[in-house]
Amino acid sequence: MYPQAAHLGRVRYPSLSQTQTSALATLAFFAAHIPLALLMRQYPRIGFFHALATCAWGLRWTTFKSRPELVAYTGAYIMGAEVLWRMTRTPIFWEFGKYAVVTLFVVSIVARRRLKPPPLPLLYFALLLPSVLLTAGSMSFETARQQLSFNLSGPLALMASAWFFSQIELSKEKVLRLFSALIGPIVGIAALAILSTLTHQGLQFTGASNKVTSGGFGPNQVSTILGLGALAAYFYMLERGVSHSFRLLTLFILVVFTAQSAMTFSRGGLYIAAGSALAGSLFLARSNRTRIKLVLGVAIISTIGYYLVLPRLDAFSQGKLSARFQNSKTTGRDHLAAVEFEAWQKNPILGLGPGGAEPLRHKLLHSSGDELMASHTEYTRLVAEHGILGLNALLLLLLAGVSSLRRANTLENKARITSFLVWSSLFMAFYGMRLVAPSFIFGLAFATFALENRVGYRFGGSTALGQQRLNTTETYRAS
């Protein structure tokens, strides 16, 4: 008899008090980030200690060699908190979130002696290294260091995330906890943005992104991380086994995050989240177990959004919100992409080196008056600054994503992985790799998502079918 099967007949379900405690703890965790965010904005040093404590806590979890999911939760929390630290002017260096995730994942890998990386992400990053010589040889030490850090920390975090997640297994319950860790700090971001929107004197809306409604920080980053939080809430709401009270909570979070993301007037955050949700939902719609829940969920969200939220937001912005989303201008991204393609044609082998295309973008900015200066599309930046090696790196990323999707064993897992890959790919198309989020989410697609058996667990006060992998030879078809 298989070891796990021997215990199927005597599964212990948590008591009602235990499940209520779990639900209240999660709600308290979300709510605690509202006063925390306000304090961090008022006293940035609190953010400094918060960042250090988060990393210290994560390093502590790396010593639990049999519980790597605890490190994953910390990484997800850092991913959600990165924009919060930036918008509260926490005194940490700009790429702290990326290097923190890399450090946690590498230490965990070494501690568990899982030193064999997945080959495709490793080759992807290795192909970007030869062009480093061009940067080092053409810039001062400090400028080269800044350019390499800004342009290569994202790919490094992607490789580390894929390496880490390729060696762990996540049950449904663990995925939900990871989503919770991500949503917590984003609640603080939303609170700061909403407070700024409601209290700013003389707020005016134009056809451009709005820094006031973004909490005084970059609308692109705030909009996108709010969209990611809304995406996590969307899949959280659709999961089987989640209690009705938790579904209402995640629905409320989804509506708030989506509304405030729209109010930043930065369209990319919602477009990326909607595209990712749609891609994942195509698989969920094929499953008899999730189709009805999907239809009901989409109907409820659409009704609330169209009849309750959108009219009020449009009235608040004097009609500027709908006009903004009807505008199809790319705000200069097409011009930047054209300049980077031209740079690749002139330097086809190694490109210009990381950061080498920045002078060309400066020249474009001064000559055309475009809004953007730094590269906003990782794909064109790779070929401009890494040449043919950058193109090959992109192809390896594509192959790695396809390989991860092919390994998925159920429609629900295919939906998750597809959504993760689409979100990270669209983020890189809109905003490059400014945050650790696209690296983390792409790496998350490499995790093994446990098959479902009949072991019960409760999450948020509801009995669900557990997600623990059976140690048997039974296989599950994805249809």
pLDDT in tens, 298-313: 999 999 999 999 999 9
Last residue of a domain, one of 71, 92, 114: 114
Q: Find the mean pLDDT for residues 45-74.
A: 95
pLDDT digits (tens, 9 = 90+) for 406-446: 998 889 999 999 999 999 999 999 999 999 999 999 999 99
- Residue 81 within a domain: yes
Same domain assignment for residues 407 and 381: yes
Reading phi first (left if > 0) and then psi (alpha if -120 to 50, else beta), residue 318 is in left
Q: Find the mean pLDDT for residues 270-281.
A: 96
The pLDDT assigned to 360 comes to: 78
Same domain assignment for residues 49 and 128: no
pLDDT digits (tens, 9 = 90+) for 153-192: 999 999 999 999 999 999 999 999 999 999 999 999 999 9
Same domain assignment for residues 354 and 383: yes
- Residue 367 within a domain: yes
How far, in Å, CA of 114 to CA of 108, rounded?
A: 9
The pLDDT assigned to 79 comes to: 98
- Residue 196 within a domain: no
Same domain assignment for residues 376 and 441: yes
**CB proximity list for 150: less than 8 A, separation 6 or greater:** 94, 95, 354, 355
Please answer whether residues 343 and 360 qualify as being in contact, where contact means their C-beta atoms are separated by less than 8 angstroms: yes
Same domain assignment for residues 352 and 389: yes
The pLDDT assigned to 431 comes to: 92
- Residue 260 within a domain: no
The pLDDT assigned to 9 comes to: 34
Same domain assignment for residues 37 and 139: no
Same domain assignment for residues 89 and 128: no
Over 70: is that where the pLDDT of 459 sits? no
Same domain assignment for residues 103 and 153: no
The token duo for 314 is 């449009």
- Residue 358 within a domain: yes
Residue type, 392: N
How far, in Å, CA of 243 to CA of 256, rounded?
A: 20
Same domain assignment for residues 80 and 155: no
- Residue 278 within a domain: no
Share of the chain above pLDDT 70, in %: 87
**CB proximity list for 242: less than 8 A, separation 6 or greater:** 176, 236, 250, 459, 460, 462, 464
Same domain assignment for residues 105 and 138: no
The pLDDT assigned to 241 comes to: 78
Parent domain of 425? 118-166+332-446
- The residue ranking higher by pLDDT, 200 or 454, is 200
Highest mean pLDDT among 11-15, 64-68, 423-427: 423-427
Same domain assignment for residues 44 and 126: no
Same domain assignment for residues 105 and 123: no
How many folded domains does the chain comprise?
2
